[in-house]
Chains A and B, each alone.
Chain A
Amino acid sequence: MARMKQFKLGKEHNSFMQKKKGNNSLDRLMPIILAIIAGISVLTTIGIVVILITESAGFFQAVSIIEFLTGTEWTPLFADPKFGILPLIMGTFMITLVASIVALPIGFGSAIYLSEYAPKKVRNFLKPILEILAGIPTIVYGFFALTFITPIIKLVIPQTDLFNALSAGIVVGIMIIPMISSLSEDAMNAVPNSLRYAAYAMGSTKLEVALKVVVPAAFSGIVASFVLGLSRAIGETMIVTLAAGALPNIDFDFLKSIQTMTAYIVTTSQGDTAYGSVEYRTIYAVGITLFVITLLMNILAGYISRKFREEYE
């Protein structure tokens, strides 16, 4: 009997040891597997950079970079094609300009309200609504621009085109308001309350505390949110494709149809340009321009928020 028991114990012990060993080898194996999976995001970046460079290299063999960057006509599908990207950059710039006129003051004001003025209950009610606004797909915004904002603009200024930069720009602005508002608010929330109390103790009104204490202290975060918002506006695609039209021009007329870099890529990839032709490769040339611009802006935003951060600890 005793031997039986010992045997059983030994077996249990054995399986326990085996299990432990299994767990240990899993503990050694998992970090390696996880590291390989984590590499996918690095591969994605490499993939983006490599395909943009290799595919646009073919384009720049046919068209000189100087012509591409300084030409004022963009007509890749004409019999006598012109490949100057300036009209597309102008279109993107106009949309971003209108969007920032709408979104920067409103996003900034709403961040101050939510961070400094709003009672907790009101804040808890308004925040989710802004989050819903942030979650609405851009195609829905595009439809809204086309069927609601454009008719209103046409009512005020009848000679407006059906597709125009103004309507699309306004709606892109509405789209980035929640982003600017919530990032700026985060920056303002990070300002310690002791600073506010000190200002109140000296008799400041709420406005004075907000504008003279909180905003300067959160300045880097606020500016970074502006830059990120604009970068988002530059990369916005569906609103401009649907509401701003498809006529690249450099006229700086907000009531006319324009084309942005993003809209060009979408429209052209829908068409039937032959794979490998110069026209086909334009989408990569435009893509790499767009990628470089947004990347620089995102790096700038990160730099601003790190470099000019005020530390209060």
Chain B
Amino acid sequence: MKQLDAERQMRRRKRKNTIFHALFLSSTLFGVIALGMLLIQILSDGLGWLNWEFLTNNASRKAEKSGIKAAIAGTLWMMSITAPLSFIIGVSTAIYLEEYAKKNWFNRFIQTNIANLAGVPSIVYGLLGLTIFVRVFGFGKSVLAGSLTMTLLILPIIIVASQEAIKAIPVTQRNASFALGANRWQTIIRVVLPSALPGIMTGSILSFSRAVGETAPLIVVGAVAYITTLPSGVFDKFTVMPIQIYTWANLPQEEFHHVAAAGIIVLLFMLLSMNAIAIFLRNKYQKKN
């Protein structure tokens, strides 16, 4: 009798395990299904509207004639400043913190400060950019003001990713370099950075894709939606793809929702290829170690 009880209890515990296994699996699949539905929804809405003219036309009041050319140009203009600037500042900061900084209160403060900056809502960076770059520096609602705002926004992500990559280089490699008579800077440039570069690149590309997809701070900084001329310099006004999509999605006419979906397809294509490059880099160099 007692043994039967124990057996029954065991069966119950095992059944409970199976049920929860299914529950946990379905929560993971929820994300996958949500992604699938989102992609299907957008493809079915926008694929029919995606053609060569859409890529080469400027914004228009008519849905059929609307295009995303000015927005693509604006995004490229912005990234041509944001990407190199944030890369240089981010990697330099990471090198300083990992290779030079002594463990004192000031450097701990910088580190905490970076962690907190990563958690500041993006819209607050918009307010910062509007006040400092647009008003105080007098750049106006220009490519430059937008790019600098974006640079500050993605900086914490690049710094943290680069720090992780630099930390992963074993100290033996540095010691070998010192033993050959190299000084600290030579060691950093010729030993540490080349080994850490794949990790740094992966983190940087992911943060660039964050900048390409970010909308809110640029609206606050004043990137305008209805633009018919391409920017020809850093002081010109501009728009970017997410803002153009936002404007279309906000219009009441049904046709513009299709235009917005077509714009999203272009944006996602760009982001997914950037992510694919980042994942490729990571996998390629992870296997080596």
Contact = CB atoms under 8 A, between A and B. Distances in A.
A binds B: yes
A112 B23 CA distance: 10
Interface string A112-136: 1110111000000010111111011
A235 interface: yes
A139 B31 contact: no
A27 B31 contact: no
Contacts of B275: 131-132, 135
B101 to A, nearest CB: 8
Max count, chain B CB within 10 A of own CB: residue among A26, A38, A47, A146: A38
Contacts of A283: 127, 220
A241 to B, nearest CB: 8
Contact of A207 (B16, B27, B209): B16
Interface in A182-208: 205-208
B155 A40 contact: yes
Nearest to A114: B28
Interface stretch (B54-62, B167-175, B191-199, B264-272): B264-272
Contacts of A141: 38
Interface of A: 23-24, 26-27, 30-31, 33-35, 37-38, 40-42, 44-45, 47-48, 51-52, 55, 105-110, 112-114, 116-118, 126, 128-133, 135-144, 146-148, 174, 177-178, 181, 205-208, 228, 231, 234-238, 241-242, 262, 265-266, 269-270, 275, 283-284, 287, 290-291, 294-295, 298-299, 302
Given A30-B185, A30-B188, A181-B28, 14 more contacts: A37-B88, A45-B116, A45-B117, A108-B27, A137-B214, A137-B242, A139-B264, A140-B38, A143-B245, A237-B216, A269-B219, A290-B121, A295-B116, A298-B116
B226 to A, nearest CB: 12
B257 A147 contact: yes
A34 B100 contact: yes
Contacts of A146: 249
Contacts, number: 256
B270 to A, nearest CB: 10
B52 to A, nearest CB: 23
B110 to A, nearest CB: 6
8 contacts: A23-B183, A38-B96, A40-B89, A45-B113, A110-B30, A136-B213, A139-B213, A206-B21
A105 B206 CA distance: 27
Contacts of B125: 48
A31 B96 contact: yes
Contacts of B185: 23, 26-27, 30
B144 interface: no
Given A147-B45, A205-B16, A137 B267 contact: yes
Max count, chain A CB within 10 A of own CB: residue among B17, B24, B131, B210: B24
Nearest to B135: A275
B176 interface: no
A206 B14 CA distance: 9
Contact of B121 (A37, A241, A262): A262
A275 B141 CA distance: 14
Max count, chain A CB within 10 A of own CB: residue among B35, B127, B188, B245: B127
B115 interface: yes
Contact of B110 (A42, A47, A294): A42
Given A137-B213, A205-B13, A291-B121, A34 B27 contact: no
A241 B218 CA distance: 14
Closest 10 CB pairs of A and B: A235-B121, A137-B213, A109-B27, A113-B24, A34-B96, A237-B216, A110-B28, A298-B119, A205-B17, A207-B17
Contacts of B13: 205, 207-208
Contact of B128 (A40, A47, A181): A47
Contacts of A287: 123-124, 127
B186 interface: yes
Interface string B200-233: 0000001001101111100110100000000000
A27 B24 contact: no
A34 B95 contact: yes
A269 B130 contact: yes
A55 B131 contact: yes
B100 to A, nearest CB: 5
Contacts of A275: 135
A168 to B, nearest CB: 13
A44 B129 CA distance: 10
Contacts of A48: 120, 124-125, 127-128
